[in-house]
Chains A and B, each alone.
Chain A
């Protein structure tokens, strides 16, 4: 029995297996960040500036198909609810250039300026801090507190869930 525990402990230590659980807690304070925008200006966007508003914080990457799939939905959301909701899309690509190329393509496809605020987290500090279980992932934040989170790409069902959550949040 002792041998079994010892060998299991050694195995876990050596393989570096870590438990999978989300650090995103509903009702908890959203983590602070200061990230540069994905454009030439590189203006720093801070979570602190959204303390008294509503934010949809989305994590995405240009290599992630699901992220690109939900981008038109986020674009529409930012356009329709822009007066009450800010959509901040945190890109986690290693190189900002890849993300910028995708954004330019996306904007020309949409044919209009996007209200989504694109920022770049090169060091992936924010997804690490949240211990994201999936990409894409979106966090709905009201007055600096996490109201809900959505794992994976938005589909018809989860879009409905988000819209219904927004009805409550944007009252």
Chain B
């Protein structure tokens, strides 16, 4: 039973951990593309962050200097 568990654990490790690999700096072409950014559409984000506080009436909700209560 114990051996079976270890076997399953090893199998799962092989499946999941093999995806982790060191990417050499000279092989990061695909990683350097715009779509790989956590925020690829910066213009859209700027637009949304402008619209959102107006729509929700929560000025300052997205920035770090106010509490999001709507007061200035």
Question: Which A positions have Cβ atoms within 8 angstroms of B?
Answer: 10-11, 14-18, 20, 59, 61, 63-64, 92-94, 124, 127-128, 131-135
Contact = CB atoms under 8 A, between A and B. Distances in A.
B33 interface: yes
A94 B25 contact: no
Interface string B1-22: 0000000001001100110111
Nearest to B34: A63
B22 A16 contact: yes
B33 A14 contact: no
8 contacts: A11-B17, A14-B13, A14-B14, A14-B17, A63-B28, A94-B29, A127-B24, A132-B25
A127 B25 CA distance: 9
B18 A14 contact: yes
Contacts of A16: 18, 20-22
Contacts of A92: 26, 29
Contacts of A18: 22
Contact of A17 (B13, B22, B26, B27): B22
A10 B10 contact: yes
A133 B25 contact: yes
Closest 8 A/B residue pairs (Cβ):
A127-B26, A14-B17, A63-B32, A16-B21, A15-B20, A135-B25, A92-B26, A134-B25
Contacts of B18: 14-16
A14 B16 CA distance: 9
Contact of A128 (B10, B17, B26, B28): B26
Contacts of A131: 24
Given A17-B22, A18-B22, A63 B17 contact: no
Given A17-B22, A127-B24, A61 B10 contact: no
Interface string B31-42: 011000000000
